[in-house]
Amino acid sequence: MANQYFIFKNQPEIGTVFTIENKAAAHHIFTVMRANAGEKLQLVFEEGQVGLAEVVSSGEKTVRLLEICDIQTELPIQVTVAVGFPKGDKLEFISEKATELGVSSIWAAPFKWSVARWDAKKRSKKKEKLDKIVLGAAEQSQRQILPEVRFFEKFSALVAEFSQFDQVLIAYEETAKKGEQSMFAQSVADLQAGQKILLVFGPEGGIAPEEIALFEEAGAKLVGLGPRIMRAETAPLYALAALSTYFELLK
């Protein structure tokens, strides 16, 4: 199977010879991977179309579009994962694996009990790093879209986004401890193809009661994710895997 790359370009007509203009994409294809004339590549265009192309000239960084591939690698629902700022490199791990599992957007915000505190400079550097990680994971897993990485300066700004989603689910440790195991499954079953769901996960310290109150006031539902208590970096991946299983393997 041909390697796949995002080239940040609108789809040309089949048969067109064109230059890979995005510097990062061109460097990866022709310098890092050393693609030569005649080699086949899968290229992802701006609207998510995937085309099979053949390298014309590695020196001039030109390719010819041979055909548009009839493939679908995206989840039928749009899933946004929001997390409280985690410690260390946990968000890097979450972002890479969540991308492989089909997430549409990865959000992070400061929660009351977040140990990590990121100022504007830290957020900017972190986002730059995550964008590269997400790109690599999306190409490796042959995604058709690049997940958005977004940081919120304030907790309230995250809550203000709830209205754009069809479902907002809060993975809450205390709910899981009480044995609640049905709300997540019921909420997922209510979703239809094309709808949007937001999954919210707390940082290592958990979610404060006053934050839970704000979430519920904004219309979110509290859910448990089974009988075991998972780490901050594990729970989002568990939920995404469950959604993928339900929508892509069982329906």
The per-residue pLDDT for range 17-26, each reduced to its tens digit, is 999 999 999 9
Is 197 within 8 Å of 167 (Cβ atoms)?
yes
Return the CATH architecture of domain 4-68.
Beta Barrel (2.40)
Token pair 């519920």 is at which residue?
Answer: 216
The Cα 37–Cα 29 span in angstroms is 12
Helix, strand, or coil here: 246? helix
The pLDDT tens digits of the residues spanning 187-225 come to 999 999 999 999 999 999 899 999 999 999 999 999 999
Is 105 within 8 Å of 147 (Cβ atoms)?
yes
The per-residue pLDDT for 181 is 66
pTM of this structure: 0.93
Q: What is the mean pLDDT of the chain?
A: 94
The Cα 170–Cα 32 span in angstroms is 41
Per-residue confidence band for 182, with pLDDT thresholds at 50, 70 and 90: confident
Pair of tokens at residue 29: 């294809």
Specify the CATH number for 78-250; select among 3.40.1280.10, 3.30.590.20, 3.30.565.10, 3.40.640.10: 3.40.1280.10
The per-residue pLDDT for 2 is 86
Contacts of 89 (CB under 8 A, 6+ apart): none
pLDDT at 28 over 70: yes
Strand partners, 87: none
Is 159 within 8 Å of 214 (Cβ atoms)?
yes
Best CA proximity match to 125, nearest among 155, 158, 151: 151
Exposed e or buried b for every residue in 98-115, given b needs 16+ CB within 10 A?
bbbbbbbbbbbbbbeebe
Alpha helices in 3-119 (DSSP H): 23-26, 90-100
pLDDT at 116 over 90: no
Q: Please give the DSSP secondary-structure letter assigned to residue 167.
A: E
Domain boundaries in the chain? 4-68, 78-250
Contacts of 191 (CB under 8 A, 6+ apart): 77, 166, 167, 197
Is 232 within 8 Å of 204 (Cβ atoms)?
yes
How many C-alpha atoms does 83 have within 13 Å on its Cβ side?
Answer: 27
The answer to whether the Cα torsion of 137, 148, 88, 224 is positive or negative is negative
The Cα 49–Cα 51 span in angstroms is 7
